[in-house]
Amino acid sequence: MATESRAVEFDIDGKKRVFDIDDPKLPDWVDDNDITAGGYPYKKRMDKGEYKDTLEALQVQIVNMHTHMQETGKRLIAVFEGRDAAGKGGSISVLHEFLNPRTARNVALSKPSDVERGQWYFQRYIEHFPTTGELVSFDRSWYNRGGVEPVMGFCTPEQHKAFLHDTPEFEKMIVEEGIIFFKFWLNIGLETQLKRFHDRRHSPVKYWKLSGIDIVGMQKWDDYTLARDTMIQATHSSHAPWTVIRMNDKRRGRIEVLRHILRNTDYEGKDTDAIGSPDPKIIGSGPMALEEL
């Protein structure tokens, strides 16, 4: 019995390109451009040794920051958003790696239950907000309604419009409550995503990461781009800004995630030399960053 082809055609620089995720051979046009896709400014990944040393120094500071939070009762939320395979899980992993799991946790919610669908949209997320001394990250968040849901038809246009209107006020309440709040959009190029999808599809240990929605989403790159731009434009604010990080190279991206949190959080024993300065080629803020990065 023949199986249905999952090949997708892309128009790249005026050329028709075909990508078949079930073909074990990765096309050259993907393999040759997975780092430089979308105008990424570096041609090679960050040196592994440099990455390891820089990451370790930042993780020491993250532990110090978290210790200070527990001593002072500070609360922190970090929201991680981005296309599928953008590097959310890996960024969250290096953030939490050496933290006390009793007071540092990650939230990755499945689709809402029938009960949750009848509640105020933000309600099921609020249940996971931090208490005294806690750091909470969200691997996807209420921003599902800003991206996946409208693109895949999981919400109505009216619900999407209401979400974009309500979210800045919702996040203003979070900040006014005294919670330290970060929003990260992890940005990748088309070929970068396709290579990561292909790696997952043909890996004996990572194949489960590739979902049916991912396959459908490959054909909706432009739709997701429009939803992303609309979402960031409507929900970027002075009290809850979007931080955009280019993640074609996961190493550089993870470094900038940790560095940004540390540079924008006050804590005892803060070592600014160890934290270092941001790379403006990799990190930016708000809608302009999507154009400039």
Residues 6+ apart with CB under 8 A from 61: 258, 262, 270, 271, 274, 275
Residue 48 domain-assigned (yes or no): yes
Flag whether 80 is in a domain. Answer: yes
- 66 in a structural domain: yes
What pLDDT does 2 receive?
Answer: 41
Q: What are the tens digits of pLDDT across the range 176-193? A: 999 999 999 999 999 999
Where in the sequence is the domain holding 149, given as residue range(s)? 30-292
Residue 159 has pLDDT above 80, yes or no: yes
Whether 12 and 29 have beta carbons less than 8 Å apart is answered as yes
C-beta of residue 196 within 8 angstroms of C-beta of residue 85: yes
Which pLDDT value is given to residue 215? 86
Q: Do the domain assignments include residue 128? A: yes
pLDDT (mean) for 267-278: 97
**Per-residue pLDDT tens digits for 227-260:** 999 999 999 999 999 999 999 999 999 999 999 9
Is residue 22 included in any domain, yes or no?
A: no
**Count of structural domains, the chain:** 1
**Does 109 reside within a domain?**
yes
Predicted local confidence at residue 179, as pLDDT: 98
Question: What CATH number has the domain bearing residue 257?
Answer: 3.40.50.300
In the structure, what pLDDT confidence band is assigned to residue 213 with cuts at 50, 70 and 90? confident
Q: Residue 20 falls within a domain, yes or no?
A: no
Identify the H or E element spanning 18: strand 15-19
Please say if the pLDDT value at position 56 is more than 50. yes
Q: What is the dihedral of CA 285, 47, 254, 84, to 10 degrees?
A: 90
Taking residues 81-96, what's their average pLDDT? 97
Q: Phi and psi for 111 in degrees, rounded to 5? A: -60, 150
What does the pLDDT look like over 120-129, one tens digit per residue?
999 999 999 9
**pTM of the predicted structure, to 2 decimals:** 0.96
Assigned domain for 113 exists:
yes
Taking 60 as the threshold, does the pLDDT of residue 106 lie above it?
yes
Question: For residue 5, what pLDDT is reported?
Answer: 65
